[in-house]
Each structure stands twice: as structure tokens, then as C-alpha cells.
Structure 1
Amino acid sequence: MNERQRIKIIRVAQGKNSTLSHLYIGSFFCCYLLEDSIRTEKIQGLTCIPEGEYGLSLNPWAGMNARYAPKYPKLHQGMVEIIEIPNYSLVFIHIGNYHTQTAGCPLTGSYWQLLDGDYQVLHSAAAYKYVYPLLVEQIGLGNDRVMVENRF
């Protein structure tokens, strides 16, 4: 996949404290995403980003780079950051399994499960290693926008 295509986060289900999403580049399903709950009023670190269109960029200076650069030295070029979100900052697509690990960020997953009323994503690192270069490529091509929409 090397052509410029629309990047979308499509939210498909809600748990008690979690939201399950799909990440697409064009019509190609890339991975599952786990996010915090959808709320009308933001609660710091417990609310997913609102629906809308936002920018994407590579952030090489934020603190998460200290963990990802040594772990993925051939892959890592900076954290994929979703930018231009009103009242949000440092929103990264990253590894994690549980809504308690999101802090407002989407977590990658190869598959999902529903446990005790909340969604989890599993094999997160594998999904991240797969989707990260695809997103970096798209950002490099100038395809640096992501559309976030609720579909439930």
C-alpha cells in the first residue's frame, strides 16, 4: 500500500469504560483500536477524542519515544500523534491492552475480546509493528489527516 488513501478510525462498540474501533487506510482494515469511553465532557485521561477530522504527525520528542526507540530501533521514527484536537495533547497511537492503559490514546490490537463489560485488545505489539510503518508511509506521502467517526 503506497498510494495516498483516507485514514479513518471507525468506532464500532462501547463497553462500560471502553470503546472498540477499527483503523482503516482507504478501504483496507489495518487493526483494532481500543479507546476510553465517549463522553460529552472530557475527563482528563478517561475520555476518547471526539468525532472529527484531525492531523497526524510523527512526534520524536515526547516521553514515549524513550521506550519505543530502543524497543523498535529499525522501525521507530517518532510516535504517531493525532494533533489539532481541541483541549487534547500528546494523543499517540500506541501499544496496550486495557482501557486503563489508554490515557485518552488509541491502543492497537490484532483482535479483541469483551470481558466483564469492557473491551480489550490483544496482541497489541504485533498490531503496532504492522500498522506503524503503514501510517508513517502515509504521513510521508502527505496523507496526514485522520477522520474519527462513531458508527453505533
Structure 2
Amino acid sequence: MAIHLKVIRIEQGKNSTLSEIYLNNQFICYGLEDIPREKKIPGSTSIPAGRYKLGFNRDGGMNGNYYDRFPKLHKGMIEIKNIPGFNYVYVHIGNTHKETAGCLLVGTGYVFEKGEYRLLQSVTAYKKLYALLVEMMVQGEVFIEVVE
């Protein structure tokens, strides 16, 4: 059975895009990205709609930071692979569009303030989603689908 993570975009702020994240059709958490743009601005553009493979990335400073922070949980950053024109796109912790760097943030809830979406309890959502994804990625291929 193909494992399927689905990101369904539901709202847009001035610089933020809010989504619901489902794993095999079960709601897991909310997601936050930058806004879509016609012309990509590195670190400030949402992931293009499409289907991508997830993989582990064990390089770089972010990987070391997460290993230090979650030594029993962390097996590598979960990277969304083969996005045309994008590199090093991760699922990670953060609350606002300023923390996305073009990646997908996760949270258990959200608020809308001053025209922007902000995630709540990002660490809680990350640990839950990360543990589920690692378990499945060890067993086989896992794909993410980003839907407008």
C-alpha cells in the first residue's frame, strides 16, 4: 500500500498559506508555508502543487540541531524531494511564515492575526507526524501530495 501524506491548502494570509495535513486520509495537523508566487523567491515561496517523494536528509546544521533536541526521535530531516527549482525543503518546526524558509511547518492549531496565519504547538505536531512518517519511511516509499 502506498503511504500518502496530503497537504490541502485552505486559507491564505498576506504572506502565509495555511493547510490541513492528512496521512492516509486521517487528519494529523495543520501546515504553514509561504505564499505561492509566479516567480520563485528563494526561501519565500510555497511548494508548487504536485506529488513528491519523501526522504531523509542527514546533512547540514538543521539536522544536527534536531538530533540534539530530539536524540531518541530524530533519524534525519524529512525532506520533500525532487521539487523542480527547489532544494532542501523540509517538514519542520516553526510558527510563522518568517520561519518557513520555503519549507512546510506543522502545528496542532492556528490563529489569524494582522492578516497572517500562525501555527500553535508546532513541536507537539512535529513529534507526532515525524514519528508516524519515520515508521512508514523505514518500511517503504512515502509520497506527499500538495493540493491547492
Does the CA contact (< 8 Å) of 1:17 and 1:99 recur in 2?
Answer: yes
**C-alpha distance in structure 2 between counterparts of 1:141 and 1:23, whole Å:** 21
Does the CA contact (< 8 Å) of 1:6 and 1:143 recur in 2?
Answer: no
The one of 66, 74, 82 aligned to 1:84: 82
Q: Given the two structures, how large is their TM-score scaled by the length of structure 2? A: 0.96
1:62 corresponds in structure 2 to 60
Gaps of 5+ in 2: none
Mapped pair 1:47 → 2:45: yes
Q: Given the two structures, how large is their TM-score scaled by the length of structure 1? A: 0.93
Gaps of 5+ in 1: none
Q: Percent of aligned positions with the same letter in both sequences?
A: 47
State the one-letter code of the partner of 2:141. N
Does the CA contact (< 8 Å) of 2:3 and 2:143 recur in 1?
Answer: no
1:98 corresponds in structure 2 to 96
Mapped pair 1:29 → 2:13: no
**C-alpha distance in structure 1 between counterparts of 2:143 and 2:44, whole Å:** 24
- Could you give the per-residue CA deviations for residues 70-109 of structure 1, whole angstroms, max 9, x where no partner exists? 1100000000000100010000100000100001001110
SS state at 1:104 partner: coil
Does the CA contact (< 8 Å) of 1:109 and 1:125 recur in 2?
Answer: yes
Shift of 1:143: 3.2
1:123 corresponds in structure 2 to 121
**C-alpha distance in structure 2 between counterparts of 1:43 and 1:121, whole Å:** 22
Runs of 4+ in structure 1 deviating by more than 2 angstroms, as ranges, are: none
**C-alpha distance in structure 1 between counterparts of 2:8 and 2:138, whole Å:** 23
SS state at 2:65 partner: helix
1:16 corresponds in structure 2 to 14
Q: How many equivalent pairs are there?
A: 148
Mapped pair 1:132 → 2:130: yes
Shift of 1:4: 4.8
State the one-letter code of the partner of 2:12. Q
